[in-house]
């Protein structure tokens, strides 16, 4: 796997791409593309990396990704019969800005698209309300399809309870394919080996760099040190296990590569702002409210 610049090919009679997919897994490539992207996971959970943000994603969490924003959605398949179900919509800047740059009534959409350069996540409850609209985009054709997209974007632009994913200082820096391929090798290696201790020398050798050069390179591309990235990746996996399994916190600590419970608790709280047990309790309360 390596970084990919995706070129989205639309049918001749369609101005933007939309598809509902039911497949065994989310794509595993770290990639970017010119188009804005809406991704709605109906069924499926995993780790989401957007720019320099990395966290667990749940079902019904709609995300809007800006043009050329690197991203990756990755889930773990434990059963060959498991499938994910999601809707992906991609529309080009040239298409959407034809409307929002020239029509004052679309100013809210324009503001939302500007914010999407860092990625925007909408709360599950707001996303679920819009699911019918998003499905309607998939099922529409002709002019109704474009009208439905604009209608949905307008509704999204009125939602106040959102947050950005990538940090303010994140710079996509997607112009150097060689550097991005190198970064992809590192991300892949971490995702495949995070359960064991990973040394700085291993990562440096994989990148064909000295340790000092590698540290500078990784921090410039991700905004994090390699060990910060590894810790956050492990915590993202821990969050996934807390929500989707009945494992104890101590078992999850062991299953995410931490060698001590105190270390796990310390890192979890530094990344998520609360302890693992508090995170579990908070999720259980939210789940009880929504059920």
Using CA atoms, how far residue 271 sits from 267, 276, 290, in Å, is: 6, 10, 26
Same domain, 73 and 130: yes
Classify residue 171: in a domain, yes or no: no
Same domain, 160 and 181: no
Same domain, 10 and 114: yes
Q: Extract long-range pairs of 140-148: CB within 8 Å, 24+ residues apart.
A: 145/14, 145/18, 146/15, 146/16
Classify residue 169: in a domain, yes or no: no
Who wins on pLDDT, 105 or 11? 105
Classify residue 97: in a domain, yes or no: yes
Same domain, 107 and 220: no
Classify residue 44: in a domain, yes or no: yes
Same domain, 252 and 275: yes
Q: What is the mean pLDDT of the chain?
A: 85
Task: Write out the residue range of the structural domain in which residue 71 sits.
Answer: 4-164
Same domain, 146 and 181: no
Of the listed ranges 150-164, 165-179, 267-281, the least confidently predicted one is 165-179
Check pLDDT > 80 for residue 290.
no
What CATH number does the domain containing 263 carry? 1.10.10.60
Same domain, 280 and 136: no
Classify residue 285: in a domain, yes or no: yes
pLDDT at 135: 93
pLDDT at 188: 83
Rounded Cα distance between 258 and 256, Å, is 6
Name the domain boundary from 164, 198, 232: 164
Predicted confidence (pLDDT) per residue in 62-117, tens digit:
999 999 898 888 876 555 556 789 999 999 999 999 999 988 999 999 999 999 99
Same domain, 149 and 93: yes
Predicted confidence (pLDDT) per residue in 159-196, tens digit:
998 999 988 877 665 555 666 678 878 888 988 899 99
Same domain, 123 and 41: yes
Same domain, 123 and 149: yes
Classify residue 98: in a domain, yes or no: yes
Give the burial string for 186-220 (b: 16+ CB within 10 Å, else e).
bbbebbeebeeebeeeebbebbebeeeebbebbee
Q: How many domains does the chain have?
A: 2
Predicted confidence (pLDDT) per residue in 210-226, tens digit:
999 999 999 888 878 99
């Amino acid at each position: 796997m390596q970084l990919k610049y995706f070129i989205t090919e639309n049918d001749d009679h369609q101005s933007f791409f939309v598809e509902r997919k039911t497949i065994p897994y989310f794509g595993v490539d770290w990639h970017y593309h010119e188009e804005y992207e809406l991704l709605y996971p109906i069924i499926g959970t995993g780790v989401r990396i957007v720019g320099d943000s990395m966290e667990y994603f749940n079902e019904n969490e709609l995300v809007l990704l800006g043009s050329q924003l690197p991203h990756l959605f990755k889930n773990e398949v434990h059963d060959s019969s498991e499938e994910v179900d999601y809707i992906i919509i991609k529309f080009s800047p040239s298409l959407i800005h034809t409307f929002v740059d020239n029509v004052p009534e679309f100013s809210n959409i324009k503001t939302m698209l500007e914010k999407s350069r860092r990625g925007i996540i909408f709360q599950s409850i707001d996303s679920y309300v819009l699911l019918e609209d998003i499905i309607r985009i998939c099922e529409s054709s002709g002019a109704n399809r474009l009208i439905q997209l604009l209608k949905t974007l307008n509704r999204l632009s009125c939602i106040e309870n959102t947050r950005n994913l990538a940090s303010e200082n994140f710079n996509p820096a997607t112009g150097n394919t060689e550097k991005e391929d190198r970064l992809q090798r590192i991300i892949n290696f971490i995702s495949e080996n995070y359960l064991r201790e990973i040394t700085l020398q291993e990562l440096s050798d994989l990148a064909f760099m000295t340790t000092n050069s590698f540290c500078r390179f990784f921090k410039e591309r991700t905004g994090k040190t390699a060990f910060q990235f590894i810790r956050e990746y492990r915590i993202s996996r821990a969050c996934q296990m807390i929500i989707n399994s009945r494992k104890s916190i101590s078992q999850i600590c062991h299953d995410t590569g931490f060698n001590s419970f105190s270390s796990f608790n310390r890192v979890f709280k530094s990344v998520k702002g609360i302890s693992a047990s508090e995170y579990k309790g908070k999720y259980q309360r939210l789940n009880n409210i929504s059920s």
